[in-house]
Amino acid sequence: MKHIYTFMVTACLMLLLGTQAQAQKTTTNYGLIIGDIAMQHINSRMEVDFTIFIDGVKIRSNRSLRITPYITNGDELLQLPAVIIDGRRRHIVHERSKSDMAASADTYIRRYNHKEQIIDYQTDVMFEPWMSRCELILREEWTSCHDMPLAEATIPVAMLNEQATKSADALMATKQTRKAYIMPQNTAATDIATIDILFPVNRSTISDRYMDNSTQISALGNALINNKIKAIHLTGYASPEGPYPFNTNLAKKRAEAVKKHISESNISPDIEIIAQDAPIDWSELKLWLESSLLTNKGDIIAIINSEEINPADKNNVIKQKYAADYYFMLKNWYPKLRKTAIDIDPNALTMAEAKEQLKSNPKNLSLEDMYMVANSLQKGSKEWEDVIKTAVEFYPQSVEARINAANVAMDHGNYQQAEKFLNGIPANNPQAMNSRGIIAMTQGKLQEAMQLFQNAEKAGVSEATYNISLLKELMAADK
């Protein structure tokens, strides 16, 4: 996943089988490291793969960094699915609007500042003739809390120049099957809960009798008792109809009221309570507008997004131009904006702590903690493989651990050991079908391998799609 100002990129061009362009690691203008870059024309598809290392990038809570790849020959331009790396608050907003983004192929990742994180990017599109001489470029774009662009940059990362062909034997010698690993993210690193305490108009006193507060306060109490907590983040809000300075002060008082309530709940003094405030939660209001049937919702959203209208004046502009819609929002939505939003983060192991445990006493780590470490390392590196081997050693009954260990064994040509790891795993497991298909290929059982790959592809294993194209080339060469 790269920039626009002045840039110079080290890229090496390799002509392989159909054709393939590869580049070494490069650093973007905003500090991302892009590695394992490959752009390949395989049969009727153009495949794009690279790895994003985001260790050195810190993202503010209400900001996002969008990375969008493009294929271009200077005249034609094709945009590929983007990766959006969110700060904490932006990720919460995007998670809440998942249903609206269901059709999007973009990927949303939360950034955990000061932690190592790796993103593997893979996609493919229909190959078109103009792509025979094309370039892969990446566009980086910082966006604000309203997904408004703040700054951008682009960078070229790979080129494709189809001028060479090779025999089928040479083709097979330069290509590798793809293994389907199961590397879940550590769920302990996500928010335990997001809870909203609501307030009557112009009030900052907590009442368990107001609206849904009884349920929300109960949920807050359960979260404080039943979870190991690292930090509690509070954001106070007011609804838009009041004077802006008054709203700012009111939002602050609401955040402080909830902070006081939590502080009196006998929680550990080591838990950090972070209180902040915002006069209006425009993002929440926009989400309701976008999913509503209001006639003028698009125009109202445009007013909210406008940089030319003073934030303190936006509510009055909406009221004057769209009175019917405004009074509907005032009655049905504004009461829910008078709140303090509570985000509770668990006290999970830090990356450094997990890595140290992995070296000194791995039996104390959960399988999820081991995969958290693995996900922070370069896929395929010796350190990454060592974590995969440790995982199967301490969790030999885990289907995930055994499939991953089988794949590592195959990467080293040990297919007998791979078969042992796969023995007993259900025949319909998608990733195991892909691995068994690779073993069948090595045994010359091409029809069996094709059936396994096709079944894995139907189950959603993207690596199987690549292996099918590879196998078809092999079968055609055998005719």
Residue 149 is part of a domain; what is its CATH number? 2.60.40
Please count the structural domains in the chain. Answer: 3
Query: If pLDDT is split at 50, 70 and 90, which confidence band does 167 have?
Result: very low
Whether residues 135 and 210 fall in one domain: no
| pTM for the predicted model, two decimal places | 0.39
Query: If pLDDT is split at 50, 70 and 90, which confidence band does 116 have?
Result: confident
Greater confidence (405 vs 184) lies with: 405
Whether residues 393 and 426 fall in one domain: yes
Greater confidence (103 vs 340) lies with: 340
The pLDDT, as a whole number, for residue 100 is 59
Q: Determine, yes or no, domain membership for 183.
A: no
- Cα gap 412→418, rounded to integer Å: 10
Greater confidence (125 vs 56) lies with: 125
What does each C-alpha distance from 274 to 84, 88, 205, 232, 252 come to in angstroms? 25, 13, 19, 6, 12
Residue 392 has pLDDT above 90, yes or no: yes
Q: Determine, yes or no, domain membership for 353.
A: no
The pLDDT, as a whole number, for residue 99 is 62
- Cα gap 7→26, rounded to integer Å: 11
The pLDDT, as a whole number, for residue 184 is 72
Q: Report the range of poorest mean pLDDT among 136-140, 164-168, 294-298, 433-437.
A: 164-168
Residue 168 has pLDDT above 60, yes or no: no
Whether residues 110 and 201 fall in one domain: no
What are the residues facing 46 on neighbouring strands?
Answer: 41, 125
The pLDDT, as a whole number, for residue 319 is 93
Q: Which domain holds residue 275?
A: 188-346
The pLDDT, as a whole number, for residue 4 is 26
Q: Report the range of poorest mean pLDDT among 57-71, 190-204, 276-290, 415-429.
A: 190-204
| Residue pLDDT, tens place only, 372-384 | 888 888 888 889 9
Residue 72 has pLDDT above 80, yes or no: yes
- Cα gap 259→251, rounded to integer Å: 12
Greater confidence (146 vs 259) lies with: 259
Q: Determine, yes or no, domain membership for 265.
A: yes
The pLDDT, as a whole number, for residue 103 is 59
Q: What's the CATH number where 203 sits?
A: 3.30.1330.60
The pLDDT, as a whole number, for residue 91 is 87
Q: What's the CATH number where 467 sits?
A: 1.25.40.10
Residue 2 has pLDDT above 50, yes or no: no
Whether residues 277 and 389 fall in one domain: no
Whether residues 339 and 212 fall in one domain: yes
Whether residues 333 and 254 fall in one domain: yes
Q: Determine, yes or no, domain membership for 355.
A: no
| Residue pLDDT, tens place only, 244-296 | 889 999 999 999 999 999 988 878 777 888 899 888 999 999 999 999 999 99
Whether residues 136 and 283 fall in one domain: no
Whether residues 453 and 369 fall in one domain: yes
Token representation of residue 282: 């425009």
Query: If pLDDT is split at 50, 70 and 90, which confidence band does 305 have?
Result: very high
Per-residue three-class SS string for the chain: CCCCCCCCCCCCCCCCCCCEEEECCEECCCCCEEEEEEEEEECCEEEEEEEEECCCCCCCCCCEEEEEEEEECCCCEEECCCEEEECHHHHHHHHHCHHHHCCCCCEEEECCCCCCCEEEEEEEEECCHHHHEEEEEEEEEEECCCCCEEEEEEEEEEEEECCCCCCHHHHHHHCCCCCCCCCCCCHHHCCCEEEEEECCCCCCCCCCCCCCHHHHHHHHHHHHHHCCEEEEEEEEEECCCCCHHHHHHHHHHHHHHHHHHHHCCCCCCCCEEEEEEEEECHHHHHHHHHCCCCCCHHHHHHHHHCCCCCHHHHHHHHHHHCHHHHHHHHHHCHHHHCEEEEEEEECCCCHHHHHHHHHHCHHHCCHHHHHHHHHCCCCCCHHHHHHHHHHHHHCCCCHHHHHHHHHHHHHCCCHHHHHHHHCCCCCCCHHHHHHHHHHHHHCCCHHHHHHHHHHHHHCCCHHHHHHHHHHHHHHHHHC
Spatial CA neighbour of 135 closest among 51, 222, 77, 176: 77
The pLDDT, as a whole number, for residue 13 is 28
Handedness of CA 112, 118, 120, 121 (dihedral sign): positive
Q: Report the range of poorest mean pLDDT among 118-122, 188-192, 267-271, 296-300.
A: 188-192
State the chain's mean pLDDT as an integer. Answer: 82
